Amino acid sequence: MTDETKHDIMRATYDALCRHGYANLTMQDIADESGKSKASLHYHYDSKHDLLAAFLDYLFEWFTERMETALADVDDPVDRLVVVIETALAPPDDEETPHSEFQTALLEIKAQAPYDDAFRARLVEFDHFLRDRIHAVIQDGIERGTFREDVDPGDAAEFIVSATTGARTRHVAVEHRIDRTRRSLETYIGTWLLADDAEAVRLG
C-alpha cells in the first residue's frame, strides 16, 4: 500500500468515526468516506478491528510527530511544559473548537479497552508517551532551576496526565469546557512547580 493510500484510508476512518461513532461503525461507512470500495479496504485490512488498530497506530505516530515538531524550537522548561499540555488538550485538527465527535469516538474506544488487548496496548502507548514526556520536561526544568527542587517529577506527570485525560472525558460526558481545566493547569504550574512563583503562566 502506498503512503497516500494509507493516508486516505486513515483520514476516511477519522471522518467515519466522527460521523457514526465507534459502536455503530461499519467498513461500508469507512469505504463511503474514502471513495474506495469495501472490497479494496478488505484487501488491506482483514477486519474492522484490524483497521481500527492500524488507525490507532497512525494516530499515535501523528501525535508524537506533532509533539516533537511543537517542541523543536522551544527551550524554556515552562514553555516546553505548556507545549506538551496544549498538545495533550488540543483537538487533532487544530480548530478553535475541540473536535467533540472524535473525542466521543475515542472515549468509546477507551471503554472497550478492558475487552480488547490490541486497543488497550495502543492506548497505553499514548498514555505512557505523554506521561514520560511530561516527566522529562519537569526533570529537566528542576535540573535547570526553573522548577522547584522538591517537586517529584513522577507524581507531577501522573497528575497532569490525569487532569488532561479527565478534562477530555468531562468534555464528552458533561460538556465541560476544556478552558476551565486549562486555566487550573496554568495556576498549578505557576504555583506548584515554578521555583520563582511570581512568574505568571499562560496556556493557549
Identified binder of a copy of itself from the candidate list 21, 32, 79, 91, rule CB under 8 A = 21
Residues near a copy of itself (CB under 8 A), total: 47
Q: Cβ of residue 175: shortest distance to a copy of itself, in angstroms?
A: 8
Answer yes or no whether residue 124 interacts with a copy of itself by CB under 8 A: yes
Residue closer to a copy of itself, measured from CB, 10 or 193: 193
Answer yes or no whether residue 173 interacts with a copy of itself by CB under 8 A: yes
Rounded Cα gap, residues 40 and 177, in angstroms: 40
Phi and psi angles of residue 190, each rounded to the nearest 5 degrees, phi first: -65, -40
Residue closer to a copy of itself, measured from CB, 36 or 169: 169
DSSP track, the chain: --HHHHHHHHHHHHHHHHHHTTTT--HHHHHHHHTS-HHHHHHH-SSHHHHHHHHHHHHHHHHHHHHHHHHTT--SHHHHHHHHHHHHHS-TT--SS--HHHHHHHHHHHHHGGG-HHHHHHHHHHHHHHHHHHHHHHHHHHHTTSB-TT--HHHHHHHHHHHHHHHHHHHHHH---HHHHHHHHHHHIIIIIBSSTTS-----
Answer yes or no whether residue 120 interacts with a copy of itself by CB under 8 A: yes
Q: Cβ of residue 179: shortest distance to a copy of itself, in angstroms?
A: 10
Identified binder of a copy of itself from the candidate list 100, 132, 143, 200, rule CB under 8 A = 100
Q: Cβ of residue 184: shortest distance to a copy of itself, in angstroms?
A: 4
- Chain-centroid distance of CA 148 in Å reads 27
- Window 143 to 172, contacts with a copy of itself (CB under 8 A): 152, 155-156, 158-159, 161-170, 172
Answer yes or no whether residue 37 interacts with a copy of itself by CB under 8 A: no
User: Where along the sequence are the contacts to a copy of itself (CB under 8 A)?
Assistant: 21-23, 100-101, 104, 107-108, 110-111, 113-115, 120, 123-124, 127-128, 152, 155-156, 158-159, 161-170, 172-176, 180-181, 183-185, 187-188, 191-192
